[in-house]
A and B are shown apart, each in its own frame.
Chain A
Amino acid sequence: EAQVTQNPRYLITVTGKKLTVTCSQNMNHEYMSWYRQDPGLGLRQIYYSMNVEVTDKGDVPEGYKVSRKEKRNFPLILESPSPNQTSLYFCASSRRSGTSGYNEQFFGPGTRLTVL
């Protein structure tokens, strides 16, 4: 089954304790992205990656790191989490944009993170 998986689905942690949220897709997509969803704010893009070893900042990158060493994986790293990073996080992937226009993003199920 074609899908984007995220782990963990739920995480409660404390301020300053480094954590990684994994994201993996099995559709051979070039493009991957991370978003955070907060009430009343919709989804905001954190980082995106056009392909292996190619990453770039989205709208709200502060406090986050990413890496893209393999095509299928795009982990989100919080080196020193703070309470304002408490949020619902989504990973997404898509084929690279082509002549038909921008492609559908496939979203993972989400990771609910609480930082105390």
Chain B
Amino acid sequence: AQSVTQLDSHVSVSEGTPVLLRCNYSSSYSPSLFWYVQHPNKGLQLLLKYTSAATLVKGINGFEAEFKKSETSFHLTKPSAHMSDAAEYFCVVSVTGNQFYFGTGTSLTVIP
């Protein structure tokens, strides 16, 4: 069985400071991992994905994530937060490519 734990339900940062959103996964097999972003009253958009290639994955809008098998983690980072980054972020795991398991989400607030 697979599952995802997003360690923080809310994260608040000042504009221009680094962002760290934490995600731990549980999977019996080699997983694919994703980060999606959901802006208020919008659908979800893919930020980045890991599918067993490079462990450091770069995504859109300056986000990146590192797959650490030993720690079963896939934390999302960004060096400098922008006001437009305020949104809900979801970490997602899949083993089969058919079934996807979402974390409960992290709400990111960016303070001007």
Instruction: Give A contacts to B, CB under 8 Å.
Output: 4, 31, 33, 35, 40-45, 48, 50, 56, 58-59, 90, 92, 97, 100-102, 104-105, 107-110
Chain A residues near B98: list those with CB within 8 A. Answer: 31, 48, 50, 56
Q: Is B28 an interface residue (CB 8 A)?
A: no
B95 nearest CB across to chain A (Å): 9
Contact assessment for A42 and B32 in the assembled complex, using a CB-CB cutoff below 8 Å: no
B interface bracket (residues with beta carbon within 8 Å of A): 20 to 34
Q: How many CB-defined contacts (below 8 Å) exist between A and B?
A: 55
Contact partner of B43 (CB less than 8 A), chosen from A31, A40, A107, is A107
- Describe B's contact surface by its main secondary structure: loop
Give the dominant DSSP class at A's interface: strand
Give B88 Cβ to nearest chain A Cβ, in Å: 9
Chain B residue at minimum C-beta to C-beta distance from A109: B43
Q: How many Å lie between the Cα of A102 and that of B93 in the bound state?
A: 11
